[in-house]
């Protein structure tokens, strides 16, 4: 228990924990103080100065986000001095900002716009500085657009890139009036260490960092009668989409999402979860085969620990930062790309469609998926495997544009083929999910028994700790896996690249001996992805996590290898995990990249 102190806010005395800031104390008391640079995920910057309050006895105003409460402190949050100052600060920000709101992608979802509306900035007394600046827009990345003219220099993106991701692709350059957020040598975002994770987009209060959207392209494809539109939806989308369309965080909208996609005009609404199950089959087998080669054949070429490869932000990160560990990455493509390769081969064949006429669209909680789909190696179907990647936010925009009353939509089910999935696939959306799904299947392959956890819920790999460890001892395996008898399978789970870094460093310094490591680039896993609804916060991510596990618990099939469509695809098409066809369509290789 921390010490309580008393603080007076607007004449009312409150008891707060010592160490709390004025902003936190006010929030507890139900008093709203406007903020811009403040974000719950990030360290305090105190640079926008919008949150200033009056502390009785001080001549200057205090930034409430950065000022700790003192015993008997007296704070006023709504005096003329405070209001005028805040208003002037908003005016200053607007004078430096390209406030052409109607032409901004974030119109209606911008914190600066909201504040301007709240403070009723009706006229601009100050001189518009925008014509005097040489703002540039960086459109070269396939994932992220950086528009300096919309930037308010709050540095949330810089802190996100440094604190959550440890990437530092974005940093502050120059000083004074020329101060800007920039990259290494002001190169464009596609030329630097940026992993395209989109966390900066998720944390940007304005339209300075946005995803590159492909909404119009998809509308055009939908309108083209010659095209067959296939859409896949990632597991995390169903627990986030509702937030954009009137639901509270943590609401599962799977059935409505499917119904909406059908309304939009997609010919076939399918599920990335299907290829998530497929990933488990391939990746689980790959892990077991690596273990066999290492333990039985004593093959020194085999790299352990094996890292998961589902998160394209993580892939690009390791390509930049730890290229010597590329062989430790599973060769499995991500579920999105497995789906893309199969849509224009397996699916096309089964549905008797010309793959050239298939347009493959994916709905992802992720901006890095846009880059992934754009990778030159992702053409194994003979075509571009995934044509367009839309974020959860872009899907919500399309649903709104189409005039769909999302809340009143009746639930619909995914189409077949490639629409069936297990609970193991759904949990791919949460950090630890891939690990849990893989263990459910691999353990059963090896021992013939279910994982020894209640209701198949592998609790040690769940949660929101940055790095989590688990181990599972293999006893009495089936004959084919006798070499694993008594082996303690050691696993680690990391989410947020700053935590990924910790794990890789531990491996590099021989401080940890893991067999299998799951890494998701974004905090919370895909459900906290850079393409998910804005805002994000630890609380929101926790609600989405609960929704993901609830979805899993409610599924009739909970293990990837029991998904009937998975059994069928191996019988009809792929034959066996890591087989010839799998290698051709479902596995990939990686590229070393520059460190800046």
Partner 1 sequence: MAVQYNLKRADFIFRNENDWEKILSRTLQRDKQELINELISSELKGRGGAGFPTGLKWKLTSEAKADQKYVICNADEGEPGTFKDREILTKVPFKVLTAMGICAHITGATKGYIYLRGEYKFLRPDLEKAIKEFEYYCNEIDFDFSIEIFLGSGAYICGEETALMESMEGYRGEPRNKPPFPTNEGFMGKPTVINNVETLAHAFTIFKHGAKKFYDLGVQFSRGTKLFSVSGDTPKPGIYELELGMSLQDFVDEFGDGDTKAVQVGGASGFLVPRKRFGETSIGYKGKLTGISLPTGGSMMLFNSTRSMFNVLDNYLEFFREESCGQCTPCRVGCQQLLIGIKAVKQGQKPASYLDKLLKLTETMQLTAKCGLGQSVANSFSSIVENFREEMIY
Residue 67 or 213: the one with the smaller Cβ distance to partner 1 is: 67
Total site size for partner 1, rule CB under 8 A: 39
- Dist. CA 35–CA 46, nearest whole Å: 10
**Could you identify the residue written with the tokens 């220099």?**
153
Instruction: Give the residue with the Cβ less far from partner 1, 177 or 450.
Output: 177
- Left (φ > 0), alpha (ψ -120 to 50) or beta: where does 19 sit? left
126 binds partner 1, rule: CB under 8 A: yes
- Rounded CA separation 303/325 (Å): 9
Please report whether residue 63 would count as binding partner 1 according to CB under 8 A. yes
66 makes contact with partner 1 (CB under 8 A)? yes
Q: Pairing mode, if any, of strands 228-233 and 268-271?
A: parallel
| Nearer Cβ to partner 1 (48/574) | 48
- Within 8 A by CB and 6+ apart from 198, the residues are 143, 144, 211, 313, 366, 367, 368, 391, 529, 530, 531
What are the structure tokens assigned to 51, written together? 């949150």
List 8, 17, 24, 68, residue binding partner 1 (CB under 8 A): 68
One character per residue 15-54, x = contact with partner 1 (rule: CB under 8 A): -----------------------------xxxxxxx-x--
- Compute the distance between CA of residue 373 and CA of residue 531 in angstroms, rounded to an integer: 15
Smallest gap from residue 17 Cβ to partner 1 (A):
17
Give SS3 for 171: strand
Query: C-beta of 110: minimal distance to partner 1 in Å?
Result: 16
Task: State the minimum distance, in angstroms, from the CB of residue 117 to partner 1.
Answer: 18
Whether the ω angle into residue 211 lies within 30 degrees of 0, i.e. cis, is no
Closest approach, Cβ 71 to partner 1, in A, equals 14
* Helix (H), strand (E), coil (C) string for 547-568: HHHHHHHCCCCCCHHHCHHHHH
Q: Which of 3, 60, 408, 589 binds partner 1 (CB under 8 A)?
A: 60
Q: Nearest distance from residue 66's CB to partner 1, in Å?
A: 4
Q: Does 96 bind partner 1 (CB under 8 A)?
A: yes
Stretch that binds partner 1, among 89-97, 207-215, 375-383, 408-416 (CB under 8 A): 89-97
Is position 179 an interface residue for partner 1 (rule: CB under 8 A)? yes
Pick between residue 120 and residue 175 the one whose CB is nearest to partner 1: 175
- 151 binding partner 1? (CB under 8 A): no
| Contact with partner 1 (CB under 8 A) among 95, 136, 168, 188 | 95
Distance CA 494, CA 465 (A): 8
Q: Helix crossing, 272-295 with 433-447: angle to 10°?
A: 60
Closest C-alpha among 590, 592, 198 to residue 378: 590
The two three-digit tokens of residue 237, written as one number: 């989308």
| Beta bridge pairs of residue 493 | 468, 518
Strand bridging mode 388-391 / 144-147: unpaired
Closer residue to partner 1 in complex, CB, 125/248: 125
Q: Does 118 bind partner 1 (CB under 8 A)?
A: no
Whether cis (ω within 30° of 0) applies to the bond prior to 417 is yes
Under rule CB under 8 A, residue 78 binds partner 1 = no
Confirm or reject binding of residue 61 to partner 1 (CB under 8 A).
yes
Active site residues: 283, 286, 310, 330, 369, 372, 377, 526
Asked if 55 is part of the footprint of partner 1 (rule: CB under 8 A), the reply reads no
84 binds partner 1 (CB under 8 A): yes
478 binds partner 1 (CB under 8 A): no
Cβ closer to partner 1: 67 or 330? 67
Are 417 and 347 in contact, with CB atoms under 8 Å apart? yes
- The two beta strands, 171-173 and 180-182, are antiparallel
Q: What does the binding site for partner 1 look like in residue numbers (CB under 8 A)? A: 44-50, 52, 59-61, 63, 66-68, 81, 84-85, 88-89, 92-93, 95-96, 125-127, 129, 132, 152-153, 155, 172, 174-179
């Amino acid at each position: 228990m921390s010490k309580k102190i008393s603080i007076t806010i607007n004449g009312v005395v409150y008891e707060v924990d010592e160490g709390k800031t004025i902003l936190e104390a006010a929030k507890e008391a139900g008093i709203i103080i406007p903020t811009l640079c403040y974000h719950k995920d990030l360290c305090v910057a105190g640079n926008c100065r919008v949150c200033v309050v009056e502390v009785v006895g001080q001549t200057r105003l205090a930034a409430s986000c950065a000022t700790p409460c003192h015993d008997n402190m007296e704070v006023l949050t709504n005096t003329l001095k405070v209001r005028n100052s805040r208003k002037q600060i908003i005016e200053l920000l607007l004078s430096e900002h390209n406030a052409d709101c109607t032409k901004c992608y974030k119109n209606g979802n911008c914190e600066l716009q909201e504040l301007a509306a709240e403070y009723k900035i009706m006229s601009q007394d100050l001189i518009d500085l925008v014509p005097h600046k040489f703002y540039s827009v960086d459109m070269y990345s396939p994932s992220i657009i950086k528009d300096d003219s919309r930037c308010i220099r709050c540095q949330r993106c810089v802190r996100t890139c440094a604190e959550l991701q440890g990437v530092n692709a974005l940093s502050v350059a120059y000083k004074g009036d020329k101060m800007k957020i920039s990259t290494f040598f002001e190169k464009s975002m596609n030329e630097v260490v940026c992993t395209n994770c989109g966390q900066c987009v998720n944390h940007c209060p304005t339209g300075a960092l946005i995803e590159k959207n492909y909404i119009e392209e998809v509308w055009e494809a939908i309108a083209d009668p010659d095209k067959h539109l296939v859409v896949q939806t990632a597991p995390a989308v169903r627990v986030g989409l509702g937030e954009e369309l009137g639901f509270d965080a943590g609401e599962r909208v799977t059935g409505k999402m499917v119904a909406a996609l059908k309304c939009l005009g997609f010919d076939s609404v399918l599920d990335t979860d299907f290829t998530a199950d497929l990933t488990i089959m391939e990746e689980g087998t790959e892990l077991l085969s690596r273990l066999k080669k290492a333990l039985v054949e004593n093959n020194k070429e085999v790299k352990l620990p094996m890292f998961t490869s589902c998160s394209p932000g993580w892939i690009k990160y390791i390509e930049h930062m730890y290229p010597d560990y590329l062989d430790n990455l599973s060769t499995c493509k991500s579920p999105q790309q497995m789906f893309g390769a199969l849509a224009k081969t397996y699916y096309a064949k089964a549905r008797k469609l010309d793959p050239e006429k298939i347009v493959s669209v994916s709905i992802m909680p992720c901006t890095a998926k846009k880059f992934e789909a754009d990778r030159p190696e992702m053409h194994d179907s003979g075509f571009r495997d995934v044509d367009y990647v839309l974020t959860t936010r872009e899907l919500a925009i399309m649903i709104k544009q189409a005039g769909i009353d999302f809340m009143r939509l009746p639930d619909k089910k995914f189409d077949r083929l490639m629409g069936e999935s297990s609970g193991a696939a759904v949990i791919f959306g949460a950090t630890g999910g891939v690990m849990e799904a893989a263990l459910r299947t691999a353990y059963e392959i090896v021992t013939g028994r279910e994982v020894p956890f209640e209701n198949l819920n592998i609790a040690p790999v769940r949660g929101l700790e940055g790095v989590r460890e688990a181990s599972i001892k293999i006893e009495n395996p089936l004959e084919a896996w006798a070499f694993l008898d008594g082996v303690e399978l050691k696993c680690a789970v990391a989410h947020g690249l700053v935590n990924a870094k910790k794990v890789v460093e531990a491996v590099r310094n021989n401080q940890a001996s893991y067999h299998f490591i799951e890494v998701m680039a974004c905090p919370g896993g895909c459900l906290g992805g850079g393409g998910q609804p804005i805002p994000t916060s630890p609380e929101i991510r926790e609600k989405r996590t609960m929704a993901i596990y609830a979805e899993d618990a409610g599924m009739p099939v909970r293990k990837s290898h029991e998904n009937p469509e998975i059994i069928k695809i191996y019988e009809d098409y792929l034959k066996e995990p890591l087989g010839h066809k799998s290698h051709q369509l479902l596995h990939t290789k990686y590229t070393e990249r520059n460190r800046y």
